[in-house]
Amino acid sequence: MSNIIAIKNLKLDLITARGVVHAVRDINMNVKHGEIHGVVGESGCGKSMTAKAILRLHDEKKLLYSGSILYEDDKDIFNMTEKELQNLRGKEVAMIFQDPITTLNPLLTIGQQLSEVLTLHLKLSKKEAKKRSIELLESVEIHPGAERYEQYPFEMSGGMLQRVIIAMAIACNPKIIIADEPTTALDVTMQAQVLDLIKELRDKHNMAVMIITHNFGVVAEICDTVSVMYAGKIVETGEVSEIFHNPKHPYTQDLIKSIPKSGSTEKRLVAIPGSPPDLRYNIEGCPYASRCTYATEACEKAEPKLIKLSDTHAYTCIRN
Amino acid sequence: MEVIRLEILIKVKNLSKYYKAGKKKLNKENDRVEQPYLKAVDDVSLNVYKGEILGIVGESGCGKSTLGRCIMKLIDSTKGSIEIKGDNIVNHHFKQMKPYRKQMQMIFQNPFSSFNPKQTIGKNIGNVAKLYNIPQKAYDEKITQLLEYIGLPLSTLKRHPNELSGGQLQRLAIIRALLLNPEFIMADEPVSALDVSVQAQILNLMLDLRDEYKMTMMFISHELTVVEHICDRVAVMYLGTIVEMGNTNQLFKNALHPYTQTLLSAKPKELPELEVNRIILKGDVPSAMNIPSGCRFHTRCPYTIQNKCNVEVPKFIEIEEGHWAACHLNK
Amino acid sequence: MKKKNKLGKFFTLPVIISLSVLIVIILAVLFAAFLATHDPLALSMSESLQGPSSAHLLGTDKTGRDIFSRLLFGGRTTLLGALGVVIISVIIGIPLGLFSGYFGGKVDMVTMRISDMIVAFPSLLLAFVFVSSFGRGLMNAVVAVGIIYVPMLAKLTRSLVLVEKNKTYVEASRAIGYSHFQIIFFQILPNCISTILVQLTLDIGYAILDLAAMSFLGLGIQPPTPDWGAMLEEGRIYLSTNPLIALAPGITIIITVVAINIFSDGVQSYLDPSHRKLPSVKKIRRLVGVAHE
């Protein structure tokens, strides 16, 4: 299986009023066809920036980038013309954002918004688009589709809206969906349902999914492979069972340890001391050194190496 | 931890908060003009015991935040009573509340907006001393002490809120709440907006505080894993009422109400290979303006008994010691 | 916060130029007594309607008074008057907006309806009615125009308060035990003040124009006191023969108001981080050493 998205040596610098932020510092990430790839990390690690860069959604007057993002192994997204990008966005590469309420236009019915995607990309007639939209709504378990088609976003719950957005995303049978924190704004009972829906759709259409999240529960629920990000770098990648059962990078280990688990008698959680580094400055050595339990002096000077444990599992560290 | 029945700090009885929702309408069934209400909190009764951390759990719209604000008198309640150490404060004016405010402090969900953005942290926290006529010097000493306790440097006092991270701000919010030596802290989703590793820091801090200062806390949250970890007792809310309440261990091991069972089954997986049996609820949460008849959960409950659950309101009874639930199935 | 930070500063070119112009004008007006060449009220029919000369820098008006000196002293009247207008609108308008926004309910409704009534009239017409009833003169003109500015300021303050009112730190303040008064004036107001200040700087400019209009129509300052608006009126008939009599005050008014607007723009840009001028992308590329076409 080849890669649908191959990110090579990506660097992203964001120009803000407080200085230049080196948000993403040389990362490599691959997503295979039909694979659900999770990108995990805490706020400020660069995961959302990476996701948005794939569709070049950033304001390029404020962004500096280097490296390449290859689509289907040979087309570099950074070299595409605006027209080629329009063809990609919403049609072959779809994106879902965190808050369903602000993603949808409150003044249009969801039917109108759903049909719009179809008439724009698939050039369907209005009638055909309506028919297809209702089918799509029912495919994401929104019944009765015809009735909901006429409703406005404010008439529906968060979970339902997110499913509408998923319907919009799969409308043109994309090859990959990028989901940026798709369940964070939803109630607990809705979260699992939405994730199951995404998995089902992947199974049906062999669609790849890149899920950005800070929640390991989401990762355990549906991901096949995982990349763990910290301070703009990928510190560990692997299959989901490898990451959960044999995490190698200290940050991955610490992060998993700090999650409250049911049935544990120890009330105190293992917290990670300190805070992430300021990304406005260049970091020498390993970015996690100041908080790592195994850190030595060498960690703050030398670049951590990439250690490959298997075909799928790799992490960066200078220890062995 | 088994909660020994100590003294009751806060006693809430039959508390309701109704919002007027729209104009008065003619009810065709009984030919009366009625004012439709949004019943955010509907007849809630609970006790908060001294020294415990009581969790209030529920999804969005269940009324838990409204309940918290009613107890803190940030909004006026419609019916019922709230007794703080025996004094019923439910009808107290804003001014009458001042002596109680010192005893009850609150921590909010969003640490970034909990502080006045134009003032330094020092001013944000320090001005409170003047408000209660506490000698500034003693107060400043306490601030220094607490800063050290939570691991932040003194220089933090000179910074503005927008220069600090969520975790730092939430810790400062906790300090601000502690400075007046309150007996009770209301925490409304205090860790929901924080990263997992920071969450752990804050939760540990809260546990330390409870142990060291014998603090009583009400912890409102929608995250079951967090509540399970830190709370001694838990109350589960649905559509404005409490459907189940009991010791954390009891409740999590043996949930009596179908809604609680659903919530527990919806918890995120801890390991990828685990099989989970999730209870899927039918339909959506009904609007609080149109509360279903009988048991308000009957429209979505997988175990509804026709002609019972949709007709008769289940009583909130003690099924086993310290464990209460309102469901016709528990008999 | 007013320090120069790396990527965005207060003293941009427009701000420097406009501020300098304003400082020159203010200083000139302040030191009118020293800078004026003649007594602004001194009549001299023999010297009337002269053009600029070494004796009279800008010439004389119809009664032989020196225009330059009248310009300087007139500035005092006009600028002080404009300041008075703004002060009145602040004293009445801001508290009204604060209480309306914070308490809402009936107070809000009544205030807003009264404001709407005032705004419904063409502004100067209302001022004329006021002045006609209470008599002419600078004081009354200032009060009249001041009252006209109240609704705008009250509405602005009110909308800012409405936004701040719902923020968590206000709720937190109530939970801590602050009184309504303390919250309104010490928590909410400081967060609104920057936007209000921008509006006030603009209002000074508008007040100058409105007071000038009042004087022009004879309802404001009474002759012989010099005032830019009055001078405009006096010079109107002589526009073709001795244009300077009208042009001098006219151009001064324009320059002052434009300078105020540009300065206020600069202040607003500085206070609103998203408008700050960021260095060009090319410059940063060189700094950061990133190369991508």
Residues of B in contact with C174 (CB under 8 A): 74
In a domain, C2, yes or no: no
Contacts of C105 (CB under 8 A, 6+ apart): none
Q: Which stretches of chain B score pLDDT less than 70?
A: 1-5, 331
pTM: 0.80
At residue A87, the pLDDT reads 85
Average pLDDT of chain A is 88
In a domain, C211, yes or no: yes
Complex-level ipTM beyond the 0.85 threshold: no
Contact A66 C7 (CB under 8 A): no
At residue C2, the pLDDT reads 38
Hey, is the C-beta of C175 within 8 angstroms of any chain B C-beta?
yes
Contact A13 C291 (CB under 8 A): no
* Residue of chain A whose Cα is closest to the Cα of B262: A189
Closest CA to B279 of B252, B298, B303: B303
* Residue of chain B whose Cα is closest to the Cα of C179: B95
pLDDT confidence band for A320 (50 / 70 / 90): low
C-alpha span between C92 and C157 (Å, rounded): 11
Most confident region among A33-42, A142-151, C139-148 by mean pLDDT? A33-42
Residues of C in contact with B164 (CB under 8 A): none
Q: What is the CATH number of the domain that holds C239?
A: 1.10.3720.10
In a domain, C190, yes or no: yes
Of B74, B117, B118, the CB nearest to C171: B74
Count how many pairs of residues, chain A against chain B, have C-beta atoms within 8 Å. 107
Q: How far is B63 from chain A (nearest CA, A)?
A: 14
In a domain, C110, yes or no: yes
| Residue range of the domain that includes C81 | 11-38+65-169+176-292
Contact B108 C171 (CB under 8 A): yes
The better pLDDT of the pair C198, A226 is held by A226
Residues of B in contact with C186 (CB under 8 A): 127
Kindly report, residue by residue over A84-128, the tens digit of the pLDDT: 888 888 889 999 988 888 888 888 899 999 998 888 888 889 999
C-alpha span between B285 and B265 (Å, rounded): 17
Which helix H or strand E contains B224, and what residues bound it? helix B224-230
Asked if A227 contacts A7 with a C-beta cutoff of 8 angstroms, the reply is no
Count how many pairs of residues, chain B against chain C, have C-beta atoms within 8 Å. 52
Phi and psi at C81, nearest 5°, equal -60, -45
Hey, is the C-beta of A216 within 8 angstroms of any chain B C-beta?
yes
Hey, is the C-beta of B92 within 8 angstroms of any chain C C-beta?
no
Contact C169 B118 (CB under 8 A): no
> What secondary structure does DSSP assign to chain A, as a single string?
--EEEEEEEEEEEEEETTEEEEEEEEEEEEEETT-EEEEE--TTSSHHHHHHHHTT-S-TTSEEEEEEEEETTTEEGGG--HHHHHHHBTTTEEEE-S-HHHHS-TTS-HHHHHHHHHHHHS---HHHHHHHHHHHHHHTT-SSHHHHHT--GGGS-HHHHHHHHHHHHHTT--SEEEEESTTTTS-HHHHHHHHHHHHHHHHHHT-EEEEEES-HHHHHHH-SEEEEEETTEEEEEEEHHHHHHS--SHHHHHHHHTS--TT-S--S--PPPS-PPPTTS---S-TTGGG-TT--GGGGTSPPEEEESSSS-EEEES--
Per-residue confidence of chain C (293 residues) as pLDDT tens digits?
Answer: 334 443 356 778 888 899 999 999 999 888 888 888 888 787 878 877 877 887 788 888 888 888 888 888 888 888 899 999 999 999 999 999 999 999 988 889 998 998 888 888 887 788 888 888 888 778 888 988 898 899 999 999 999 999 998 888 888 888 888 888 888 998 899 888 888 988 898 888 888 888 888 887 778 777 778 888 888 888 888 888 888 888 888 899 899 989 988 888 887 777 765 544 555 555 565 555 544 43
Burial of C192 (0-12, 13-18, 19+ CB in 10 A): buried
At residue C6, the pLDDT reads 38
In a domain, C5, yes or no: no
List Cα–Cα distances, C224 to C37, C65, C128, in angstroms.
18, 10, 21
C-alpha span between C255 and C257 (Å, rounded): 6
Contacting subunits of A (3+ beta carbon pairs below 8 A): B, C
Average pLDDT of chain B is 88
In a domain, C86, yes or no: yes
The domain total for chain C is 1
pLDDT more than 70, % of chain B: 98
Kindly report, residue by residue over B279-324, the tens digit of the pLDDT: 888 777 888 888 898 999 999 998 988 888 888 899 999 998 889 9
At residue C3, the pLDDT reads 40
Q: What single letter denotes the amino acid at residue B208?
A: D
C-alpha span between C264 and C202 (Å, rounded): 7
Contacts of A198 (CB under 8 A, 6+ apart): A36, A166, A177, A179, A182, A209, A211, A222
* Residue of chain C whose Cα is closest to the Cα of B111: C168
C-alpha span between C38 and C56 (Å, rounded): 8
Contacts of A194 (CB under 8 A, 6+ apart): A159, A162, A163, A166, A182, A183, A186
Asked if B217 contacts B210 with a C-beta cutoff of 8 angstroms, the reply is yes
* Residue of chain C whose Cα is closest to the Cα of A61: C281
Kindly report, residue by residue over B191-216, the tens digit of the pLDDT: 888 888 888 888 888 888 888 888 89
pLDDT confidence band for A265 (50 / 70 / 90): low
Asked if B295 contacts B313 with a C-beta cutoff of 8 angstroms, the reply is yes
Residues of B in contact with C191 (CB under 8 A): 116-118
C-alpha span between B329 and B45 (Å, rounded): 21
Hey, is the C-beta of B59 within 8 angstroms of any chain A C-beta?
yes
Residues of C in contact with B176 (CB under 8 A): 176
Kindly report, residue by residue over A59-84, the tens digit of the pLDDT: 888 888 999 999 998 889 999 998 88
To probe the interface with C, which of B101, B118, B158, B185 has the most C CB atoms within 10 Å? B118
Residues of A (201-240) whose Cβ lies below 8 Å from C: none
Q: Is the pLDDT confidence value at A240 over 90?
A: yes
With tokens 């290979």, the residue in question is: B273
At residue B134, the pLDDT reads 82
Q: How far is A109 from chain B (nearest CA, A)?
A: 19
